[in-house]
Structure 1
Amino acid sequence: MKPGDRVKLTTSEGTFEGTLLPRPALLSSDITVLKLKTGYNIGIESKKIEKRTVLQEYQTPVPVRAKIVHDPALPTVAILSTGGTIASRVDYRTGGVYADYSAEDFVMMCPELSKIANIKAVKVMSMMSEDAVAADWQKMAEAILESLKTADGVVITHGTDTMHFTSSVLSFLLENLTKPVIITGAQRSIDRGSSDAFMNLMCSIKAAASWDGACVTICMHGTISDDYCTLLRGTKVRKMHTSRRDAFRAINDEPLARVYANGRIEITNQEYPKRHEGKTSLRELDNRVGIITTYPDIEPAIFEEHAKRAKGLIIVATGLGNLPLHNKKTVKQALQKISKKIPLFICSQTLYGRVNPSVYANLRELSIEIGATYLSDMLPETAYAKLMVALTCKNTKEFMKTNIAGEFTTRELDDAFLR
């Protein structure tokens, strides 16, 4: 017997029919797991099974392919799959998920896509987004660069947990981006009736095909209903809820546009780079970055240990950029030593608003005596991503202080707070 087989198990307590499931790694090795016709799973102690009968052997499902006809009148959009539920199929016989990433599959999921653009799909990798490392981001950027040679825009399907890290990294890796790069995913798995996957994908492809922007954005639901999706600047966006469909929000910024299921794009913020002719190139990454969230009574050793490996530190401070420099700890002395070896950068835990080195004495000490650089309203995750790229530049501090991809805003928007 193997997982997926439909079997009949006879035990001293009765006979059970169902689909044999793979045993979860954390489950005792003497348990056999069945999925019953009702959809429920049961576990049976293997020693109690008196007879095993295979009723039907498992056959790997062969997906039905949709026929794609190239329409020369439509733009071409490349879909780069990196993992996540949005591009996964569920095998209901075993309850498992398997990946099959082709243009035909996307059209099968959303037949309307073929009316928006010619779809070219590439599987770049398959991973949980929290497992991403610097080499993965570099690989994504290389795949985007290759796709931009023939596509009018690029859509990346991605897990949602670290999507805003990826959007930030790609914003700095892709120099002189000439076309839109849209990152999307799903908060609800694609097999659920409440899934947001279809609308997110539809709106993302529409934006990649016809939006006039040339930057990295995230495209996800704008409300908990299927009203519209929002295009959010890749360096000013954050996942702000674990499960809501509208979990992604613009921070210290306005959404760039609303994209409706019928294809209409409503521009809500004109401040973004536009499509243009030119050559996009790639910067490089150095992942020797430390990011430390401070707290009361933090030990100096926290900073010292991070600094042993790092070539630069992002310090996520409180409020306007405060650190505990004058308690009984020796944080100030530790930072003075560290700053002579590697650069220090300050942003705020509040996310909204901006840090300011001139308001309090502690702030001025950090800026003047210790030499830390304050990063205005840059988000911590964005600062982390930017520093990885900045470390490969000739002047790391100058790169960090330069507005590369809209990571700094020049004015505060009253109606952008917690919207």
Structure 2
Amino acid sequence: MPSGYDGRVLQTLDMHGAGVGDRVAIDSDIRYTGTIMPRYHHSDDSHIVLKLDSGYNVGVSILGITGIRILERRPAPPPSTPPPEPRGDLPDILLVSTGGTIASRIDYRTGAVTPALDAAQLGESMPELYGMANIRPLQLLSEYSENITPEHWLEMAHTIHEEHSKYAGIILAHGTDTMHYTAAYLSFALAGCDTPIVLTGSQRSSDRASSDAALNLAGAVSAIIQGIPRGVYIAMHHTQSDDTISIHHGTRARKSHASARGAFRTINGEPAYMVSGGVLERHSHKDYWNGIAYSPAISVDRRAALVKYHPGYDTALLDHMSECRAVILEGTGLGHVGREAYHTIQSMVRRGIFVGMTTQCIEGSVRMTVYESGRDLLDIGVVPLRMVPETALVKAMWAASRDTDIHDAMVSDMASEMA
């Protein structure tokens, strides 16, 4: 079925044997020559979208069409070529692809961006990587990151656990929107792993001239081959320019811009490392896992929630979280919520639900002893957490799945998450 077409317009295309990607001549009031493009599924059912030879897109109404002639069929994609033979003088790196923009490409015949690259094709599109290390591609998922679930985290963690001892490092190609959630989960589930794990992605697909994919991947490879210590990291552009790749601690980073290439920031600090001119610069001298020996704990419990407090928040909504094992509050300022929420929160704590406090401020940490409202919340059992709210949520989901006490896990600095 042509992508996005249905109803009358689909019938018209089928009648003429035409589909997305075909180069056609459409006769109407005038003759239109171009390539049939996909459409959004919610578009109307009376127009064909055509990319003209000039590069502009037009919508051609089917009501006036007298004929569609196929000039050229959409060509089949070229076959993948195998990676080069491993070299004994290069380190081995596992490249795990999960999807996202970095594993997408533009079909310039149609103008669509699709998750079309598997791990082998991703490596093939950046052959310079094979001169830096022996890259073994592994296709695990093909998902945009908004579709990544906790069950996918488990799949990634199990794969890394099974493979890590064979490699100098593991690179996880991942969509950027939820990359920091995945990085946080791997930090707790694989705490103490001696093989560095670097997540990377791109804001623009790997075949665009403005893509950041190749440099981000090269930065991740450079960090590994130059001996970045054990830990879970996020490697992305430092700014809009191509000068530097920032290597962020996976539990301290968040995506702070929707589309810019330098989208990620380390909260309450600087990136742990940077790769500039291909050289790894160290800005952190601490062990990511604070001396923890490797003891994988790969499990997750979805019964945790992240609640952003705001003026007028209906505390009755908290009553619907009675099945949660943990609730992370994203409070105002130093860690506050309005007093009208106190009774409900206290009831949750008494029922054994862990309630932690983070701040909705981008920078700074929770300090609940400064103001009366913070001290009141401490008195009713709210636990201050000096970490990024998303990291706190993921840690709570991980801690709730363990046999150990959630409180003890949440207040211990396992993976450099405390700021």
Shift of 1:406: 0.5
After TM superposition, give the deviation of residue 278 of structure 1 in Å.
7.0
Identical residues among aligned pairs (%): 34
| Partner residue, 1:313 | 327
- Map 1:55-74 to 2 at 5 A: 55-63=71-79, 65=81, 67-74=83-90
Match of 1:417 in 2: none
- Residue 281 of structure 1 aligns to a residue whose secondary structure is coil
Aligned ranges for residues 201-240 of structure 1 at < 5 Å?
201-240=217-256
Q: Does 1:196 align with 2:217?
A: no
Structure 1: distance between partners of 2:80 and 2:143: 24
| CA separation of 1:279 and 1:349: change in aligned 2, threshold 3 A | closer
The answer as to whether partners of 1:141 and 1:282 remain within 8 angstroms in 2 is no
Q: After the TM superposition, which segments of 4 or more aligned residues of structure 1 sit over 4 Å from their partners? A: 274-280
The question of whether the paired residues in 2 share the 8 Å contact of 1:202 and 1:261 is answered with: no
Aligned CA distance change for structure 1 residues 352 and 275 (closer, same or farther; 3 Å): closer
Counterpart Cα distance in 2 of 1:141 and 1:72:
28
- In structure 2, what is the Cα distance between the partners aligned to 1:58 and 1:355? 57
* Cα 1:82/1:204, change in 2 over 3 Å: same
Instruction: Note if contact 2:106-2:205 (Cα within 8 Å) is conserved in structure 1.
Output: no
For residue 27 of structure 2, what is the aligned residue in structure 1?
10
SS at the partner of 1:205? helix
Residue 100 of structure 1 is matched in structure 2 by: 117
Aligned match of 1:414: none
Cα distance in structure 2, aligned partners of 1:274 and 1:332: 35
Equivalent residues in 2 for 1:293-308 (5 A)? 293-305=308-320, 307-308=321-322
**What are structure 2's unaligned runs of at least 5 residues?**
1-17
Q: Is the 8 A contact 2:23 2:71 kept in 1?
A: yes
- Classify 1:133/1:277 alpha carbon distance in 2 versus 1 (closer, same or farther; 3 Å): closer
TM-score by length of 1: 0.90
| Distance in 2 separating the partners of 1:154 and 1:131 | 22
Following superposition, the deviation at residue 81 of structure 1 comes to 0.8
Residue aligning to 2:38: 22
Which residue does the alignment assign to 1:415?
A: none
**Alignment match, 1:360:** 371
Alignment pair present for 1:386 and 2:395: yes
Shifted more, 250-259 versus 351-360: the winner is 351-360
1:68 Cα deviation (Å)?
Answer: 0.8
Give the drift of 1:115.
1.7
Query: 1:277–1:303: structure 2 CA closer, same or farther, 3 Å change rule?
Result: closer
- SS of 2:66's partner is strand
Cα deviation code 1:278-317 (max 9, x no counterpart): 7552331101111111112322112222x23322100011
Aligned equivalents of 2:326, 2:185: Cα separation in 1: 16
Equivalent position amino acid for 2:117 in 1: D
Say if 1:178 and 1:276, in contact at 8 Å, map to a contact too: no
How many Å separate the matches in 1 of 2:411 and 2:240?
36
Q: Structure 1 residues 275, 406: CA separation in 2 closer, same or farther (over 3 Å shift)?
A: closer
1:81 aligns to 2:97 (yes or no): yes
The 1:74–1:320 alpha-carbon spacing in structure 2 relative to 1, beyond 3 Å, is same
Native 8 Å contact 1:178 1:274 kept in 2: no
C-alpha distance 64-261 of structure 1, shift in aligned 2 (>3 A): farther
TM alignment of 1:12-411, pairs within 5 A? 13-63=29-79, 65=81, 67-96=83-112, 97-103=114-120, 105-262=121-278, 264-273=279-288, 281-305=296-320, 307-325=321-339, 330-341=340-351, 342-368=353-379, 370-375=380-385, 377-393=386-402, 394-409=404-419
Give the counterpart letter for 2:389 in structure 1: P
The DSSP-based 3-state class of the residue aligned with 2:24 is: strand
Deviations 1:372-414 (A, max 9, x none): 1111x211011001000110222110000111100114xxxxx
